[in-house]
Chain A
Amino acid sequence: DQQVKQNSPSLSVQEGRISILNCDYTNSMFDYFLWYKKYPAEGPTFLISISSIKDKNEDGRFTVFLNKSAKHLSLHIVPSQPGDSAVYFCAASVTSGSRLTFGEGTQLTVNP
């Protein structure tokens, strides 16, 4: 039972344009969401997060949007840069828990 799903295995965008990565979840107990970025041969690194009490969180070029009624979140990267090319994982947690549940990942390629 995949509780966190990233339906797009890959996404390709031009440098300078917006990248939008999507994530859906099924467990209504999830109330904290995170995005991680992973380069080949490296561990994932934390990028940005959002609590369920918010619907938007922004950090520089990265913005995460949360739509609780649709159980959907998205990560916007504006403007996209070639260095953003990586696999992006969406993850979710419950407030009282320590563990994260990850999606399958989306490979983002930003073309110069």
Chain B
Amino acid sequence: DVKVTQSSRYLVKRTGEKVFLECVQDMDHENMFWYRQDPGLGLRLIYFSYDVKMKEKGDIPEGYSVSREKKERFSLILESASTNQTSMYLCASKTSGARYEQYFGPGTRLTVT
């Protein structure tokens, strides 16, 4: 079974803090993704990576950056957290090739006060 883990289930940070969200997958997947989930907006793609040190902007990259130094790990960075970044953050991974299913971690509920 694919396992995607996220470093924290719940996180509370103050406005202006730098925040790191970590994601690790154990299936040697090439592709990794960061989403945020907000009520009525579904899952929106922030950034994704199709290889180590490679990254692509998703639909809402503003205010975020990412890092992928190792294949199994994909980090999301909020350089200066703001209250509108309060959300559920979901990491996912998938293999390259013909299969399209992404496997998700349990999510991190981030609250910025």
Contacts and interface: CB of A to CB of B under 8 A. Distances in A.
Interface string B85-113: 00000101010100011111111010000
B105 A99 contact: no
A99 B58 contact: yes
Nearest to B105: A43
B22 to A, nearest CB: 15
A41 B40 contact: no
Interface of B: 4, 9, 31, 33, 35, 40-45, 48, 50, 58, 90, 92, 94, 96, 100-107, 109
Interface of B is mostly: strand
Q: How large is the interface on A (under 10, 10 to 19, 20 to 34, 35 or more residues)?
A: 20 to 34
26 contacts: A6-B42, A41-B107, A41-B109, A42-B106, A43-B4, A43-B90, A43-B107, A44-B43, A44-B104, A46-B101, A46-B102, A49-B100, A49-B101, A89-B43, A91-B43, A93-B100, A98-B96, A99-B48, A99-B58, A100-B45, A100-B100, A100-B102, A101-B45, A102-B42, A104-B42, A105-B42
A46 B48 contact: no
Nearest to A90: B42
A6 B48 CA distance: 24
A61 to B, nearest CB: 19
Contact of B100 (A6, A9, A34): A34
A89 B33 CA distance: 17
A36 B103 CA distance: 10
A98 B100 CA distance: 7
Nearest to B58: A99
A100 B58 CA distance: 10
Nearest to B98: A95
A32 B100 contact: yes
Interface string A22-51: 000000000010101000011111100100
Leading 10 A-B pairs by shortest Cβ distance: A43-B104, A104-B42, A102-B43, A46-B101, A102-B42, A98-B31, A44-B104, A93-B100, A43-B106, A32-B100
